[in-house]
Copies of this chain bind each other. A is one copy, B any other.
Amino acid sequence: MTEHNDERFERGWATVAKINGPARDQQFQSLSEVAPDFARWIVESVYADVLSRPQLALRDRELATVAALTALGNAPAQLKAHVEGALNVGLGRREIVEVIAQMAVYAGVPAAINGLQIAKSVFAEREGPGTS
């Protein structure tokens, strides 16, 4: 990714790193192989121009994203990435479980159950062997 060095890309990439952590390189690489311009557009126009804006805390943005992706129910891989992102920017497991469960009210019980199963899988991966 070092070939991109302009300011907008770098600003977006820093926000990707805060949310996605070490997983960012693989995800970006996979998308770049089929749609390189669109992958770059996401970093610049989404992560730099929208998600990096200071008008809303990154913690609040991830809370909203987990809520919306749970409600929409059409993007389980992205919901998984944003449950991880929510943990990365400071939300607690209890808050994440609570906001996903709340989506039962607005999008139905199946959407909430599916979201909780995704959250459960993220939590389990973080435990690792030897952790309770």
**A contact residues, total (Cβ < 8 Å):** 60
Is A53 an interface residue, CB under 8 A from the partner? yes
Number of copies: 6
Q: Which of B38, B49, B74 contacts A73 (CB under 8 A)?
A: B74
A44 partner residues in chain B, CB cutoff 8 A: 45
Q: Which of A67-117 contact B (CB under 8 A)?
A: 67-75, 77-78, 94-95, 97-114, 116-117
Task: Indicate whether A103 sits within 8 Å of B68 (C-beta atoms), given known contacts A34-B97, A60-B95, A113-B31.
Answer: yes
User: Chain A residues in contact with chain B, CB under 8 A?
Assistant: 30-31, 33-35, 37-38, 41-42, 44-46, 49-51, 53, 55-56, 60-61, 63-75, 77-78, 94-95, 97-114, 116-117, 119-120, 123
